[in-house]
Amino acid sequence: MNICMIGAGYVGLVSAACFSNFGWHVHCIDKDADKVAGIVDGKMPIYEPGLEELVERNVKAGRLHFSTELAEAVRDADLVFLAVGTPMRRGDGYADLRYVYQAVAEIAPHLNGFTVVTTKSTVPVGTSREIERRLRELRPDADFAVCSNPEFLREGSAIQDFTHPDRVLVGVDNERAKAKMERVYEPLRLRNAPVIFVGRESAELAKYAANAFLAMKISFINEISDLCEEVGADVQQVATAIGSDRRIGDKFLHPGPGFGGSCFPKDVSALVRTGREARAPLSLIEQVEKVNTERKIAMIPRIERAAGGEVRGKTIACLGVTFKPNTDDMRESPSLVILPMLMERGARVRAYDPQGRANAEPLLPGVEWADDALDAAEGADLLVILTEWNEFRALNLRALKERMRGRILVDLRNVMRPEVAAEEGFVYHGVGRREGA
Ligand code: NAD
């Protein structure tokens, strides 16, 4: 099968590499010429474990190509996947579909023979129908069908998620298109991965509903963790207890500084707007949006309390700035709210992140950057853990203490065992457990 993937971002690049590794012939197109040139040179534009080797192997095998020109790739394609960004629109919080529709206008002149055009991007319900309408208008002669194939991979484990998915979801209203989609996912079906076929509106809505549900779980445990602190309960114990109920599940029950990333905030916001427009308001999800915005800001008084009342004149070592570990993605990261607020209140911030610095530096003016955790701790009054990178789980606390001026450790991800931190002489503040415990 010939595939044309439009977009070489987190989703497009990973999907293109994985499809080519199935044996399909893939052309991955991005209009960002620097990005394409970098990939061709073997430099991945994103940090994603295993991606570089996968791309290299399939490029060498002649199955994976990168270009800025889509004409030929679309002409040859059985399937065109749209994996362009759908960011939050300024002003109204709805999904900005300009990249999707631009890509649609660009592929239209080159459709040739029966072609399935499918969205991998997260798009609001009704978008497939609108793409079909636009393509039909631009190319009344063309033989095509439009599907929805929302992507569920997670940054940091994207290849594993693509190749071992909980399910592949395809929204399709056309038998010929369904046959093509069955074929392209045949390698996963052979491995017993469930490929679920539903209507296009259901697929589109399911992606948003899934993300909103996961975001709701995070906001839920964040509020429960606040309650734990007030009543002497331990959120880790509460999460284990409720998470062992299979109806609830133990995932996404980790309290922290609020959710971020390229998906949850924008998808929650877009779903809320879809609900309002459809006159089916989603009051629960509206609350999630509000709770999460407040959550990030609420980390400031928490850090101030730990610092003895205020952070003015204090040096804060901040470990982790990405919204989650194993990625360099800074989009909507809580650090983008928390670090500037700490600096506004007169703190000096020294940050370290294993992969995020290059993306973070222009977004966080005023932050000093360190090469590792020890370097960040130099002269610090307090240490704040913001992202649960694995290397922060095994920090050498003794060495950190020697570098620091103070003894305060604010662990906003509960990566440390409080008793271990206390043994090393730290005053430990976790989330959802007794202060100093
Ligand atoms: P991204 O911003 O990393 O990548 C999008 C790419 O598309 C960019 O490289 C951009 O240059 C390119 N592009 C835009 N318009 C183009 C055009 N007309 N022709 C060629 N290239 C074009 O975005 P992403 O994180 O990969 O997300 C893509 C979509 O997938 C979004 O809708 C997102 O919600 C969804 N999604 C993302 C994730 C994730 O973890 N990042 C997971 C599931 C779904």
* pLDDT, position 437: 45
| Long-range Cβ contacts of 420-425 (<8 Å, 24+ apart) | 421/397, 424/397, 424/398, 425/401
Q: Which of 29, 31, 44, 84 to mutate to test the pocket of ligand 1 (most atoms within 8 A of CB)?
A: 84
* pLDDT, position 76: 98
Half-sphere exposure of 243 (CA within 13 A, CB side): 15
Q: Walk along the chain (437 residues) and give the pLDDT tens digit of each residue.
A: 999 999 999 999 999 999 999 999 999 999 999 999 999 999 999 999 999 999 999 999 999 999 999 999 999 999 999 999 999 998 899 999 999 999 999 999 999 999 999 999 999 999 999 999 999 999 999 999 999 999 999 999 999 999 999 999 999 999 999 999 999 999 999 999 999 999 999 999 999 999 999 999 999 999 999 999 999 999 999 999 999 999 999 999 999 999 999 999 999 999 999 999 999 999 999 999 999 999 999 999 999 999 999 999 999 999 999 999 999 999 999 999 999 999 999 999 999 999 999 999 999 999 999 999 999 999 999 999 999 999 999 999 999 999 999 999 999 999 999 999 999 999 999 999 866 44
**For the whole model, what pTM was predicted?**
0.95
- Report ipTM (2 d.p.): 0.99
Q: Which of 129, 199, 120 is nearest to 153 (CA)?
A: 120
Ligand 1 centre distance from Cα of residue 83 (Å): 5
Give dist(CA 318, CA 366) in Å, integer.
Answer: 13
Ligand 1 contacts (CB < 6 A) are 6-12, 29-32, 35, 83-86, 99, 102-103, 106, 121-122, 151, 153-155, 262-263
Instruction: Say whether 259 counts as a known binding-site residue.
Output: no
Please check whether residue 117 is in contact with residue 80, taking contact to mean a CB–CB distance below 8 angstroms. yes
**Which domains are seen in the chain, by residue range?**
2-198 (3.40.50.720), 208-289 (1.10.1040.10), 295-429 (3.40.50.720)
Ligand 1 centre distance from Cα of residue 13 (Å): 9
What single string gives the DSSP state of each residue in 297-349? HHHHHHHHHHTTS--TT-EEEEE--SSSTT----TT-THHHHHHHHHHTT-EE
Could you say which of 147, 228, 263, 318 is catalytic? Answer: 263
What's the count of helices (H) and strands (E) in the chain, helices before strands?
A: 18, 14
Q: Which of 10, 66, 168, 169 to mutate to test the pocket of ligand 1 (most atoms within 8 A of CB)?
A: 10
Instruction: Say whether 252 counts as a known binding-site residue.
Output: yes
**CA distances from residue 262 to 97, 306, 332, 344, 427 in whole angstroms, order as listed:** 15, 30, 7, 26, 34
Instruction: Say whether 135 counts as a known binding-site residue.
Output: no
Give dist(CA 245, CA 72) in Å, integer.
Answer: 52
**4 catalytic residue (yes or no):** no
